[in-house]
Each structure stands twice: as C-alpha cells, then as structure tokens.
Amino acid sequence: MTMTKYNIDIDTVTVQENLSRILSQVFKLLPMREEEKDWHKPLETLVVELLGLSSLFSDQRDLLTCASKLEGLQVSQDIDFTLYRRTIFECCSLLDRIKQNV
C-alpha cells in the first residue's frame, strides 16, 4: 500500500499500473513529434497529471523532476529533436525507477 498526503492507502499495484500508463504516454511523445502530430496537448496533460501525482505522493521527488523536464519541453521554443528525445528517455527512466520503488 502507498500512502497519499490525505492519509489514504492506495494499492501499490494500482499505482504501478498508473505509472506504466503514464510512462507509455510519455514514450509516445517521440513518434508524435517525429510524425509532426500535435504533441503539445498530450505533453501539457502529462505535466498536469505528474504535478498532481507529485502533490499526492510528496515522498516521490522524481515525479517533480520528471514533470519539470516535461514542462521544459513544453515552454521551449524550437527545441532541438536530439534534446527532446534525450529528455523523453530521461523521463521514461525516472518513471520506471519510481514504479520499481513504489
């Protein structure tokens, strides 16, 4: 069980499944950008969701780090694809680490 800031226990498997879903959505940002699809709106949604999780699980600082990296992609104008790609992979690694540590 994982405790939220509201002292509500959430089943660890549920949290891990949610993190897997988020990780998959983050990874999908790569082909979206490569195929010149709208990647901005999904990115914005992910930042909001990660900030919410970071607030609920304040002991998981990597959630804030991941949200910060994605926010950086969101606010950067004409970001180089190599940096974009590296940042996406860093976020995927962070989310995987969080998932393993929950």
Q: Is 0.85 surpassed by the pTM of this model?
A: yes
The model's pLDDT over 57-74, given as tens digits with 9 standing for 90+, comes to 988 999 999 999 999 999
Count Cβ atoms below 10 Å from residue 74 Cβ, excluding itself: 14
Q: Which residues pair with 9 in a beta bridge?
A: 3
Axis-axis angle for helices 61-75, 40-56 (nearest 10): 160
Do the beta carbons of residue 22 and residue 102 sit within 8 Å? no
Q: Which residues pair with 4 in a beta bridge?
A: none
The model's pLDDT over 5-47, given as tens digits with 9 standing for 90+, comes to 888 899 999 999 999 999 999 999 999 999 999 999 999 999 9
Residue 1 pLDDT greater than 80, yes or no: no
- Give the separation between CA 50 and CA 56, rounded to whole angstroms: 10
